[in-house]
Amino acid sequence: MLRTNRALLASGILIVSFLLPAIADEKDDEMVDNPMYTAWASFKPGATSTISENTTYSGDTNPVPDQKVITYTLLSVSPEKVVVSAVTVEQETLGTVESAPTKHTYPAKLKKSYLAKAAPELQARKGEEKITWKDKEIECKTLSGSFKKEGEEVEFKFWVNEKVPGGFVKRTRTLKQKDDTITTTGTLQSYSEGK
């Protein structure tokens, strides 16, 4: 579940990094737009985004892949906050396990210092790229790069489209720890804009 929360936070952070100007010279305690709020605030309650996430581990011989499907649903929007529900269905040996819905409340603003600690991905290379999703090409903004944190190296690439609730069309993240490599790929399965 913690990995799901991190993925949701990374989604919003990356979307907002395209929308916010560089803020390198401003005070760390200044209040800035919360990327999670921005990723959802332009949609109506009921908007959904379903992401299929697959994780592979180097040297793993487990016959059951680490797969999950996460459905995010926008519950409410106000000028102060958005509330998003997440339900995760994980594959296990004899079937699947569905988590109870978790509710995430994201205020419209947060301290810049919080964002800097949570989002090394903001220093990524920005670009644009068309990718194929369900037999149609989608224009996406991209963020890619790498960073080191606490002895680990992370490489990532995100494909973002602001017409999708939560923003993500695809994301890849590879974590290298000593002799182990963990690669997670998230792909948009479906979305709706709400009513």
Number of structural domains (the chain) is 1
**Domain region containing 177:** 2-192
What pLDDT is recorded for position 124?
74
Question: Per-residue pLDDT for 27 more than 60?
Answer: no
List beta partners, residue 53: 68, 186
Residues with Cβ within 8 Å of residue 157, at least 6 apart in sequence: 142, 143, 144, 171, 172
| Percent of the chain scoring above 70 in pLDDT | 78
At 157-177, the pLDDT tens digits run 999 999 999 988 999 999 998
Give me the pLDDT at residue 147, please. 81
Q: Taking all residues of the chain, what is their mean pLDDT, rounded to a whole number?
A: 82
Please tell me the predicted confidence (pLDDT) of residue 24.
40
- Asked if the model's pLDDT at residue 69 lies above 70, the reply is yes
- Predicted confidence at residue 94, as pLDDT, reads 87
Q: What is the chain's length?
A: 195
**Distance from C-alpha of 121 to C-alpha of 103, rounded to nearest angstrom:** 24
- Find the mean pLDDT for residues 120-145: 85
Report d(CA 141, CA 159) in Å as an integer.
6
Distance from C-alpha of 148 to C-alpha of 46, rounded to nearest angstrom: 37
- 96 strand-pairing partners: 91
Q: 19-28, 55-64, 76-85: which has the minimum mean pLDDT?
A: 19-28
Percent above pLDDT 90 for the chain: 45
